[in-house]
Amino acid sequence: MKKNSDIFHNVVLVLCIIVFLICFGMLFNWYLDSKYADKDIKEIKTTIITDNGNSLKSNKNSTNIENCVAWIEIPNSDIDYPIMQKKNDPEYYLHRNYKGEYSYSGTPFLDSKCSIGTSQNLIIYGHNMKDGTMFSDLMNYKNTEYCKKHPTIYLIVDNTVYEYELYAVCKVESDDGWYTFTDQTSEETFDELISHIQNKSLYKSDKTAEYGDYFLTLSTCEYSQENSRLIAIAKRR
């Protein structure tokens, strides 16, 4: 009996070691992927540094990067990234860096239904990474004081800087109706969508939204419930 017990304990010990090594390997791979993702972003920023080392907003989309349609920056936050889009493969950059190489962190990308320069509402997706990269800083917008201190979002397109002002912050499901609003719709539908957003918003802006306004929506996963998303909606000034 003792021999059988020893064998059992040895088997359990070996299994525990295997599980530990697998978990350690997964964590180590996640750590390396995060480092490589950060390196990729620094690499792309290096190509657009001008003015004696100062990064100019107007130059952040001046590089000839394939499928890069814009650059997004939220001052005094870690959100400062290229925006990618591959219309024939909507989620291509979900787990790829800007060069198209595999990266669990992915790269923020524009909804395939949107077109820079024409769409009424530009919807950009980014991962909520635990290491604080990509769109994880959007979680801070759950705090009203943070919203008040970080109301401005810049979108740089073809060397032109578009300034947006925070309008609403909402927790929604992945199939929320707001995601269907990309191009001009009827005024009645627009009013219904705005009313829906106002009712769900965690942040009460003193700004009004009018039919014909242009919007920018940043979307990331929010883990308080299944299929939950946090969206920060800003209106173009």
Q: Is residue 112 part of a domain?
A: yes
Query: E-assigned strands of 140-208?
Result: 152-157, 160-173
Domain assignment present for residue 174? The answer is yes
Which comes out higher in pLDDT, residue 95 or 3? 95
Range of 216's domain?
Answer: 57-236
158 within a domain of the structure (yes/no): yes
Phi, psi of 229 (to 5 degrees): -130, 150
CA separation (Å) from 121 to 31, 62, 236?
Answer: 35, 23, 10
What is the amino acid identity at position 197? I
Question: Would you say residue 36 lies in a domain?
Answer: no
Q: Is residue 164 part of a domain?
A: yes
Beta strand segments in the chain, E: 68-73, 80-84, 109-110, 121-125, 152-157, 160-173, 215-221, 228-236
With respect to residue 35, please indicate whether it lies within any of the assigned structural domains: no
In the prediction, which pLDDT does 119 show? 97
81: DSSP letter: E
Residues 6+ apart with CB under 8 A from 170: 178, 197, 200, 201, 202, 230, 231, 233
Whether 147 is covered by a domain: the verdict is yes
pTM over 0.85: no
Q: How many domains in the chain?
A: 1
What span, in angstroms and rounded, lies between the C-alpha atoms of 95 and 4?
Answer: 47
pLDDT score of 30: 45
For residue 51, what are the contacts with CB-CB under 8 A and spacing of at least 6? none
pLDDT of residue 24: 44
CA 58-60-63 angle, 5° bins: 115
pLDDT tens digits, residue range 3-46? 556 665 566 666 666 655 554 444 445 444 555 556 666 666 65
Structure confidence by residue, pLDDT tens digits, 202-233 = 998 988 999 999 999 999 999 988 999 999 99
Q: Is residue 205 part of a domain?
A: yes
SS3 47: coil
CATH number, domain of 223, equals 2.40.260.10
Q: How far apart are CA 181 and CA 190, in angstroms?
A: 8
pLDDT of the residue at 115: 96
Report yes or no: 61 and 71 within 8 Å, Cβ to Cβ.
yes
Q: Are 209 and 217 in contact (CB under 8 A)?
A: no
Q: Is pLDDT of 190 > 70? A: yes
Of 33-42, 131-140, 180-189, 190-199, the range with the lowest mean pLDDT is: 33-42
Per-residue confidence (pLDDT) for residue 131, from 0 to 100: 87
Neighbours of 157 (CB within 10 A): 16
